[in-house]
Amino acid sequence: MKLKIKICLLLCLVVWSGRLFAQDVRRQQMMDSAVVEYSRSAGSRSALYYGKVQEGHPRTTNHPYLKDAQYAKARLSYYGIIYPEVLLRFDLSRNEMIVQSPGLNHNIVLFPENVDFAELHGQRIIYFRNDSLPGSPSTGYYILLHSGSCRVLEKKTATLQFRGEGSTTEWYYSTDALFYLYKDGVYHIVRTKRGVLKILYPYKKELKRFISANRLRYRLDTEKFLTLTAREYEKLSGS
């Protein structure tokens, strides 16, 4: 009698184990199918979609992204490989470049040290590494406004703030920009037209005439002012 009971228990265990094995097989097959589908969608770009998933943002009245919260087509150089069209967005609050993975629709944060550049919303974004030169900016993403001998970098940031009181309190992102002008081995932070002309000596008079002739306004369009003025300085100095 005891032998029969043992045999029955053994048979039940075998059946139960078989069912578990079958479930594991089906589960593994589903996982494998998902991986195959993802690989098929990602194709040769699969290296782009390997990284941490972006963390969510608190509810605010605006967004912390460059230009638009929606993804935009961009040209990206990653690991030295050029991707002519990828969907990117640039988070100014966390200084992160985000790519949208195909199929799964995950928001993946790119490894910054592998980003050579990204051309997004008509601007070229680079990952700058702090060096030993005087005034060198901190490591992070910067907008490269001009890449000549007189380099111009822009650091855009978005900071979470709140206004109001009690139940009327609302959270929002305030944006700011800091500009760096590189000349003769030194990085300078510039905040005014006068500061730019002081750095770009000895062509102060010539640059003043150029700025006036082209109706450039530092406060109105700082990016354009710095880019064109730096180019003109290079022409005057032959650098």
Mean pLDDT on 141-161: 97
pLDDT of residue 31: 44
Mean pLDDT on 89-118: 91
End-to-end CA distance of the chain: 100
* C-alpha 125, offset from chain centre: 8
Residue 196 phi/psi, 5-degree rounding, is -65, -45
Of the pLDDT bands very low, low, confident and very high (cuts 50, 70, 90), residue 26 is low
pLDDT over 90 percentage in the chain: 69
Report which DSSP code applies to 53: B
Measured at the alpha carbon of residue 144, what is the angle toward residues 139 and 150, in degrees to the nearest 5? 100
Residue 165 phi/psi, 5-degree rounding, is -140, 150
For the chain, what is the mean pLDDT? 85
pLDDT of residue 3: 40
Task: Spell out the domain ranges in the chain.
Answer: 48-190, 192-239
pLDDT of residue 28: 52
Of the pLDDT bands very low, low, confident and very high (cuts 50, 70, 90), residue 193 is very high
pLDDT of residue 1: 47
Mean pLDDT on 122-144: 96
Q: Strand 107-109 vs strand 115-120: parallel, antiparallel, or unpaired?
A: unpaired
pLDDT of residue 105: 73
Q: Which of 41-45, 53-57, 81-85, 114-118 has the lowest mean pLDDT?
A: 41-45
pLDDT of residue 51: 80
Q: Which of 9-13, 124-128, 205-209 has the lowest mean pLDDT?
A: 9-13
Burial, 158: exposed, middle or buried (Cβ in 10 Å; 0-12, 13-18, 19+)? buried
Helix (H) or strand (E) holding 41: helix 2-42
Of the pLDDT bands very low, low, confident and very high (cuts 50, 70, 90), residue 214 is very high
Nearest-Å Rg of the Cα atoms of the chain is: 28
pLDDT of residue 132: 87
Of the pLDDT bands very low, low, confident and very high (cuts 50, 70, 90), residue 50 is confident
pLDDT of residue 41: 41
* CB-CB neighbours of 235 under 10 Å: 12
Q: Is the pLDDT of residue 167 over 80?
A: no
pLDDT of residue 102: 75
Whether the CB-CB separation of 83 and 76 falls below 8 Å is answered with yes
DSSP 55-91: PP----SS--BSS-SS-EEEEEEETTEEEEEEEEEEE
Alpha carbon distance 99, 217 (integer Å): 35
Nearest to 98 by CA among 123, 61, 124, 69: 69
Q: Which of 45-59, 128-142, 211-225 has the lowest mean pLDDT?
A: 45-59
Of the pLDDT bands very low, low, confident and very high (cuts 50, 70, 90), residue 48 is confident
* CB-CB neighbours of 106 under 10 Å: 16
Whether the CB-CB separation of 74 and 88 falls below 8 Å is answered with yes
pLDDT of residue 23: 52
Alpha carbon distance 187, 134 (integer Å): 6
